[in-house]
Amino acid sequence: MENASDASCMDALQLAGKIIMENGGETYRAEETINRMGRGFGLEQVDSFAVPSGLFISYKNEDGEPVTSVRRVRRETRNLTRVDEVNQVSRLAASGKLDCRQALARLREIECHPGSFAGMWCLPAAFLCAAGFALLFGADLLSIAAAGVVALLVQLMETFMARFRSRGMAASILGGLLTTMLPLLLSRVLPALQTELIVAGAVMPLVPGLAMTTAVQDTMRGDMVSGISHGVQAVLTACLIAGGALLAVEIMHFIPGGAV
């Protein structure tokens, strides 16, 4: 029970839950991880409650007094490598191979982990994603390349906006706008381009696939608050992208060269 009296236990539990939730993990996973790690540390009556915007953790200390903490959580990014690594730490902690301090040190490293790659490597990833889906939708070679370039430019815009902590809604609207407008403008210069398929491919990196999956996972575990919250987030993101696309179509009516 040496670990149980260590203040770093609460820090480790908080940090584990925070990393999972800030990087696109499910709330049920955050709760399960905290409970499993807490029991692994030798804490008694460990309990946790997570909602998409916060974490509540409690356990009983050596004197039998309850220790409780609240942590505000803000969704910042999508980094499933960090979530996966916290999962690995929780496995080790649960099996008694890591104590509180070791787990906390590992979690602090994970918090700064850049993910599966760092820097501007997201640009070729966006290119690959859009080009792959354009191929799937039946586009020709030129349109596949165009879809990749459009997605790359939109990703560049997102990366630029992220530097000013301006992601989320604004990025979705702008993403939808650019994803539609660039192919429409390109098709004025190169009429052979398959505009519809380019847009369909280029929009794929923006779709809220992770939020949708998380919503289903949370709902299936009976966590309705988180399920609905993630579901609304997915629908809202899709609506904003669609709104941006509609705006682009409307703007194109005012640009010489005819309607869409």
Partner 1 sequence: MPVAEQIIRAVLGAFFGTVGFAMLVHTPKRAWFVSGLIASLSYLLYWLLTWLGLPDPMAIFIGSLFGSLAGLLSARQMKIIGTVFLMSAVVPVVPGLGLYRMMAALGQGQLATGAKTGIQAMITVAMIALGLGAGAFADRIIWSRKPHRET
Nearer to partner 1, 6 or 82 (CB): 82
Q: Tell me if 163 sits within 8 A of 228, measured CB to CB.
A: no
137 contacts partner 1 (rule: CB under 8 A): yes
Q: Which of 19, 21, 98, 199 binds partner 1 (CB under 8 A)?
A: 199
Please give the size of the binding site for partner 1, defined by CB under 8 A.
65
Nearest to 24 by CA among 52, 46, 5: 52
Stretch that binds partner 1, among 46-54, 100-108, 162-170, 201-209 (CB under 8 A): 201-209
Strands 54-60 and 44-51: antiparallel
Stretch that binds partner 1, among 40-48, 49-57, 131-139, 164-172 (CB under 8 A): 131-139
Of residues 48-107, those binding partner 1 (CB under 8 A): 78-84, 87-88, 91
250 contacts partner 1 (rule: CB under 8 A): yes
CB of 150 to partner 1, least distance (A): 12
Q: Which of 19, 110, 131, 240 binds partner 1 (CB under 8 A)?
A: 131
CB of 33 to partner 1, least distance (A): 9
Residue 222: strand, helix, or coil: coil
Nearer to partner 1, 12 or 204 (CB): 204
From residue 156, give the alpha-carbon distance in Å to each of 25, 43, 84, 121, 130: 25, 46, 26, 11, 14
> Helix count (H) and strand count (E) of the chain?
10, 3
Nearer to partner 1, 1 or 225 (CB): 225
Nearest to 214 by CA among 232, 227, 224, 204: 227
How open is the CA angle 86-77-204, to the nearest 5 degrees?
115
Nearest to 67 by CA among 6, 10, 3: 10
Phi, psi of 166 (to 5 degrees): -120, 65
CB of 237 to partner 1, least distance (A): 11
Question: Cα 129 from chain centroid?
Answer: 16
Residues of the shown chain interacting with partner 1 in the complex, contacts defined by CB under 8 A: 24-26, 29, 32, 78-84, 87-88, 91, 115-117, 121-122, 125-138, 155, 180, 196-197, 199-201, 203-205, 207, 209-210, 212-217, 219-220, 238, 241-242, 245-246, 249-250, 253, 259-260
